[in-house]
Every structure is written in structure tokens, then in C-alpha cells.
Amino acid sequence: MSEPTILLVEDEAQIRRLVRAALAEEGYRVLECGTLKEGLAQLHAETMQLLILDLGLPDGDGIAFIRELRTQFSLPVLVLSARSAEGEKIRALDAGADDYLTKPYSSGELLARVRAQLRRAPQEGTAAETHFCFGDIEVDLAQRSVTRKGTAVRLTPIEYRLLCAMLAEPGKVLTYRHLLSAVWGKAFVESNHYLRIYVSHLRQKLEEDPAQPKHFLTETGVGYRFHP
Amino acid sequence: MKASFFFATPARSLPMRMLWVIAACSVATLLAWPWRELFDPANTAMLYVLAVAIVAARAGKGAAIATALLGSALLDFFFIYPHFTFTIGDAQHIVTLAVMLAVALIIGNLTLSLQREKEAALERERQSRALYQLASQLAGALTLEQVDELTRRFLQKTQACNGMLLMRQGENVLPVAGAQAPLSGKLYYAAQSALRQGAVQATVDEPMQWLFLPLHGSTYIRGVLALSATDTYLLDTERQPLFEAIAALLAASTERLHFVEVAQHAQLQMTDERLRSSILSALSHDIRTPLTVLYGMADTLAQSELPKALHEMADAMRQQTLRLNSMVSNLLDMAKLRAGDIKLNLEWQPVEEVIGASIKLLAPALAQHPVSVKLSPDIPLLRFDAVLMERVLCNLLENAAKYATPGSPIRIAVRTDKKFAHLSVSNDGSQFPPDRLENLFELFERGDSESNIPGVGLGLAICRSIVSAHGGSIHADNDDGACVIFTLPLGEPPVIEPEGESE
């Protein structure tokens, strides 16, 4: 199997057609179905590289489905949501989804998200990458060094831990809860302002224009995303 | 003598009592007469004592004294030597007379007090039965009007006085029944003092006596019961416990009604809320799905190889779909905001973050305009709902992009004064009409109603709703191009302990 296989679970035939056309043009193999039940059967039948899931399916709660799915499968999940309620996005992400797209979206956006998820996926299980390069920043986790245009950047321990947590999952939306428990520990999951302050420190030190960041992106009301 | 003999209702009218006196004395005299030669007068006297005792029990103290006097006169006249004269020949007979009088007084008093106790017991029983009846009627009352009506009827029937239920309205008391004239002057003042001090107040407004009893609820005084009657008996201390018991009953039932109302209201609101959010989410789903399809198709067309004219058309289609989507979002948001209770997810955060996110979100619309962000140094964390604030900034930026001349810059600036942070979004395009700067933020209001720039005038109205929910204000001016400025209160941000040295 050379080209990645993507499973699309969406009940609107028109949207299915569009998404399939866009993905097929990129050379992906697309399987599709309209219900959660069929989706689960397909996942059991063969190995997929990505699941694109609509949250408003007629035969069940998409979020519960993701939670259930996570007990058996590790493939990345990209959620399509017609609702723009941040609460639902957060719940989907905390349940185990990797990213979301709010309707309406352009095929450009969709393909970008799909590419990012597929890029991430094979790294799981293999040795973690220790060297990162984005913009004019270089990070070497083995050396614990961060340089900007070749000059060392001094980060505090918390800033460094936050940077590592974000680098570990490029392209994925990281909820406040996830980042807080990864960097500060479980006791701090309600202290969103800590996280916001330290992200702003990272932007001051690593972004060209901290007010309009290119790498440490804000997902308003949900969390952050690291874009390499 | 059986106790019930004393409990029988005594003769009340004067002729009846006189009849008792005469009958008792006559019977005693007639009974003793045939034996006058056989018995000593001292023994005959015992018959008269019996007569006095019976009259005392049956006709009261006065009649008993009269019997004693008449009896001793008859005794003297008929049985004591010399017969048929009132001359008392023996000092012993004075003792007989004194004993008779004493018996009359003692038994008369005894009867009287027993009588009184009986009456009191009966009255108490009557009152508690009436109270019980009132309580069971009040338990079935569903509205304050019914409580008022029941109380008034009850007081009229059992206490022969007028009642009026006054409920608390803030710091005032108002009659429940609309038909009742509100109290005036000193009556109103007395009712107010009963409410404020929580103590019974009495006052006179000729010819009526008034009594005001506070209704003590579990948390506060719920109202006042006003009683009025022409008689002064309202002020009897004996009646106070009854009136207070009525007031307590009323307090309990008005409180019950209050909580029923609160519960019903909450239930209604919950159902309402559920209905509204399900309609909104259905709308949002059903409208966004075809929009997504349209947008996706237009997007695919715009990216494919097409003749120039067709390509432009596809691109315009895509733009219009996006605009339609933003209008739908605005409408849905407005519906949510208008519906009242916006649940703000207030968190302390740096303002530049939401500014950056808004600019990024609107990148396609802002493609033709360089955006500059100017923050005065040391802006503290602000407390706001990030999602809603992003909506405000996006609407303002979208507006600026719509009205700015192509290629001209859009400026965002943030500065603070002592109490507020001032955020402004300005552009160099057409100015706001100076005479309508205020109206701009009204619903469905547009700067230039004949403008060929699309929009329905929702954006700024939403901005105002969101900003005022945050305790800030919003206004427009033409000082620095067309400029919209809004404020957010500063507050006291949480302190974040500085960290140790770098690694």
C-alpha cells in the first residue's frame, strides 16, 4: 500500500463528494461512509492512516465515538464540525481528536490539515526526533540548545518545557488542559493565565512579530498549535 | 353535685335570674312549711343554704346573694319565733344568715371562674379549629390573590374584622388585590414600620382600629397583614396569639407560593434555554452544511484552470459564500446575545494574543491592507472572553477592510488609563456620518444605508452587546480616520511568580 488511506465519515453526500475529490486529487485513497457504525466496521476491516469525522452524525455522539475509538486505534483523527462552539472542539480534542476544521472550510485548508496529520503519524513508535528547525530558530533537544540565527536564546525551565511540549506534536491543536498538565502538572489544569503568559514569553523570544505569530498559533478559546 | 352542673350555661337575663331566686326560695319555704313544728329552724336553714348553692351555680353570684337575703328573710318570717315577724330573737340565726351569704359568695365565685375557664377553653377550641381550617384552605391556594381572598373571608367570618394582605415590593408594601385601595398616610407608615422593624404595629384611624402584623418568612419579612375593625377588641392582648398564628400561617403560605414561583420560573427558563439552543444549533447546522458545500465547490472551481471571466465569477462566488457565512454567524450570535444571559468565559490574558488571532483569522479579507498593531508598553493582563473578543475585533477589522481604500493601512492601537484599556481599530477610508455616530451601534443600522458595500448592520451591534457585557463601552469617531474605540475595565490581574534563572 503506497498511498495513504483516509476514512471519511460524513452523512452529507455533497460534502463527502467534495472532500473525496480534493483528497483524491492529492493522490490519497479515500474510503467513505455515512454512519459511525459503518465507520467502525471499516476501521476494523483494514488499516487506515487518517480518520476524517463529522461530529453531527445521525447515529450517535461523535465525541463518545472518538473516546471509544481511542481505546483500540491510534490513527490521527481530524474532526469536521458545523458548530463553532469552542466547548465542543475542546471536548473532541480532549477525547482524543488531533485537529478540527469548522465548516465552511476551503479545500486548501483541509489538505493542509490532512498533510500535517499524515506527516505526524509515522513518527509514532519510531525514535523521537531531537532536532527541529522552524523560521530562523533551531532547537536541539539532545543538547538542550535553542538558537536564533545562530545566537543562543536563553529560556527559563518552564519556557523550555513548554517549547518541548509544543514541538512534540507539530500541527496538532493542544488544549489548555493538555499543555498545563504537561508543563505544570495536573494541579494546574485550571490556570489558563499561566499558560498564556508563558506562550507570550516564547513568542517574544522566538517569533519575528510576537503580535502576529507564525509558529506558536492561537486557537482562540481552545488552545495553541505549533506550526513548524 | 356533678361537675357538669357548673358547666351548664348559667341564666343570663335578669328576669330569668329573678325567677331562679323566687322559685328557689318558694320551693325551700314550701318544702319546709309542713315540718316547721318538727324541725329546729337551724335544720330548716340548711334547705335555704341548698337553695343558695343551686342558684349560685345556675344563676350567678348576684342571684345567689339575693337568694341568701330573701331566704334569710323568709326563714326569719316563717320559721323563727316569733313567727310572721322579722324580729330576730336569737343571735344564732344571724350566724345562719352569715353562713348563707358566705355559701352564696363562694359557690357563686367558683361557678363564675369555672364558667370563665370553660368559655376560654371553648374559645380556644374554636380558634384552633378555625386556624386549622384556614391552614388547610391556604394549603390549596395557588396564587397570592387566593390567599388574600381566603384570609379576608376567614377574618370576616370568625373575627368580625377586615383583613388585607400587603406584600413586600422592594422596600415598600403593596396590597395583593388590585381592587383594594393602597394605604395612605399614617396607615401606610405603620405598615412600613411593621415591615422594617418586624414587630406588630397598632394605630387608630377614626372610626377604625388598625393592627399590622409582619409576616416572618424564613429569610426575610415577606409582607404585612393589616387588620381593621370598628371595635377596640383588636387590641386585646388575648387575641394577639391568634392574630400572630394567622400571620405565621400567611407567612408560610406566601413563602410556599414564592418558592413554587421560583421553581416554575427556573423550570420554564430551562425549557426555554433548551429549546432555544436546540433551534440555534439546528439552524447553525442546517445552514452551514449547504454553505460548506457551496463554498467548497466555488473554491474548487476558483482553483481550477478556467477562462479568466469564469475564474473571476468562481472567485466572486467564493467571496459571497464567505460573506453569507459571516452574516449567518452574526445573526446566530446576535440571537444568542439578545436572548439575554450571555455566559462569559472570563479569563485573564494578554490582549495581543486575541489581536493576533483575529488578524490571522481575517487574513484573506485583509490581504489588501497592511495591518499595524501599536501597543503602549506594560499593558496588564485583561479579563475577557477570548472567543467573544475575537468576534468584536474580527467585526471591526472586517468593517475597516470593507470601507478602507484598497492598499491603505488598518491600524490597531491599545493604550490604558487608570481604569480602562482603550482598543481602537481605524482606517483611512470613508468617514462615519458625524451626526449618526451613536446610531451606528444600533441593530440593523448602517453608516450609509444606500451604500453598495454589502452588510446588514449587525456587526457593530454585536460588538456593542459583547463590550457592554464586559463592562466596557464602545464609540466611533473620525479623529484618526474612521475609528472605532472600545474599552475594557482593567481590574487586578493575578500575580505570576517570576521564575528562577534560565537553563
Tell me what ipTM this predicted complex has: 0.84
- Check CB contact of B344 with chain A, cutoff 8 Å: no
Q: Chain B closest CA to A139's CA: distance in Å?
A: 14
Is residue B264 packed enough to be buried (19+ CB in 10 Å), middle (13-18) or exposed (0-12)? exposed
For residue B480, the 8-state DSSP code is T
The percent of residues in chain B predicted with pLDDT above 90, rounded, is: 10
Instruction: Please answer whether residues B476 and B424 qualify as being in contact, where contact means their C-beta atoms are separated by less than 8 angstroms.
Output: no
Residue of B nearest to A143 (CA): B503
Phi, psi of B490 (to 5 degrees): -80, -50
State mean pLDDT over B465-481: 88
The Cα A84–Cα A102 span in angstroms is: 6
**Single residue among A123, A145, A162 that ends a domain in this structure:** A123
For residue B78, the 8-state DSSP code is I
Across the interface, which of A105, A193, A211 has its CB nearest the CB of B356? Answer: A211
B7 inside domain: yes
Q: Chain A closest CA to B443's CA: distance in Å?
A: 23
Interface of B with A in 271-300 (CB under 8 A): 281, 284-285, 288-297, 299-300
The Cα B130–Cα A39 span in angstroms is: 72
Residue of B nearest to A82 (CA): B285
Q: Looking at the structure, do residues B360 and B470 belong to the same domain, yes or no?
A: yes
Interchain pair B300, A21: CB under 8 A:
yes
Q: What is the CATH number of the domain that holds A214?
A: 1.10.10.10
Across the interface, which of B293, B296, B373 has its CB nearest the CB of A211? Answer: B373
Q: Looking at the structure, do residues B267 and B235 belong to the same domain, yes or no?
A: no
Q: Which domain holds residue A179?
A: 131-226
Q: Looking at the structure, do residues B325 and B346 belong to the same domain, yes or no?
A: no
Is residue B194 packed enough to be buried (19+ CB in 10 Å), middle (13-18) or exposed (0-12)? buried
Q: Looking at the structure, do residues A10 and A117 belong to the same domain, yes or no?
A: yes
Q: What is the CATH number of the domain that holds B473?
A: 3.30.565.10
Instruction: Please name the residues in contact with B143: beta carbons below 8 A apart, sequence gap of 6 or more.
Output: B257
Structural domain total, chain B:
4
Q: Looking at the structure, do residues B204 and B177 belong to the same domain, yes or no?
A: yes
Kind plus residue range of the DSSP H or E element containing B89? none
Interchain pair B503, A156: CB under 8 A:
yes
**Single residue among A123, A148, A170 that ends a domain in this structure:** A123
State mean pLDDT over B53-64: 83
Q: How far, CA to CA in Å, does B449 sit from each of B319, B432, B456, B483?
A: 22, 12, 9, 19
Interchain pair A158, B352: CB under 8 A:
no
State mean pLDDT over B267-284: 77
Q: Chain B closest CA to A198's CA: distance in Å?
A: 10
Q: Which domain holds residue B195?
A: 142-258
The Cα A52–Cα B319 span in angstroms is: 26
Q: Looking at the structure, do residues A109 and A156 belong to the same domain, yes or no?
A: no
The Cα B256–Cα B139 span in angstroms is: 9
Contact residues of A toward B, CB < 8 A: 12, 14-15, 18-19, 21-22, 56, 82-84, 86, 103-108, 144, 154-158, 160, 192-194, 196-197, 199-200, 210-213, 217-221
Q: Looking at the structure, do residues B212 and B282 belong to the same domain, yes or no?
A: no
Output the pLDDT for position B413.
93
Q: Looking at the structure, do residues A50 and A95 belong to the same domain, yes or no?
A: yes
What's the pLDDT tens digit per position in B92-110? Answer: 667 777 877 787 788 878 8
Q: Chain B closest CA to A149's CA: distance in Å?
A: 19
**Single residue among B279, B307, B335 that ends a domain in this structure:** B335
Q: Looking at the structure, do residues B397 and B447 belong to the same domain, yes or no?
A: yes
Q: Looking at the structure, do residues B58 and B12 belong to the same domain, yes or no?
A: yes
State mean pLDDT over A17-46: 90
Q: Looking at the structure, do residues A148 and A103 belong to the same domain, yes or no?
A: no
Interchain pair A82, B284: CB under 8 A:
yes
DSSP string, A79-117: EEES---HHHHHHHHHHT--EEEESS--HHHHHHHHHHH
Q: Looking at the structure, do residues B279 and B242 belong to the same domain, yes or no?
A: no
Q: Looking at the structure, do residues B269 and B253 belong to the same domain, yes or no?
A: no
**Single residue among B318, B335, B352 that ends a domain in this structure:** B335
Q: What is the CATH number of the domain that holds A30?
A: 3.40.50.2300
Residues of A in contact with B291 (CB under 8 A): 103-104
Q: Looking at the structure, do residues B347 and B459 belong to the same domain, yes or no?
A: yes
**Single residue among B315, B335, B355 that ends a domain in this structure:** B335
Q: Looking at the structure, do residues A108 and A160 belong to the same domain, yes or no?
A: no
Q: Looking at the structure, do residues A158 and A115 belong to the same domain, yes or no?
A: no
Residues in chain A: 228
What's the pLDDT tens digit per position in A62-102? Answer: 889 999 999 988 889 999 876 566 778 888 998 989 888 88
Q: Looking at the structure, do residues A11 and A111 belong to the same domain, yes or no?
A: yes
Q: Looking at the structure, do residues A46 and A10 belong to the same domain, yes or no?
A: yes
Across the interface, which of A18, A156, A213 has its CB nearest the CB of B293? Answer: A18
Residues of B in contact with A190 (CB under 8 A): none
B308 inside domain: yes
Residues of B in contact with A108 (CB under 8 A): 299, 303
Q: What is the CATH number of the domain that holds B316?
A: 1.10.287
State mean pLDDT over B209-233: 85
pLDDT band at B355 (very low <50, low <70, confident <90, very high): very high
Q: Looking at the structure, do residues A146 and A211 belong to the same domain, yes or no?
A: yes
What's the pLDDT tens digit per position in B411-469? Answer: 999 999 988 999 999 988 777 887 777 777 876 665 555 555 555 567 888 888 889 88
Interchain pair A158, B322: CB under 8 A:
no
Structural domain total, chain A:
2
Question: Which of A218, A222, A227 to probe the B interface (max B CBs under 10 A)?
Answer: A218
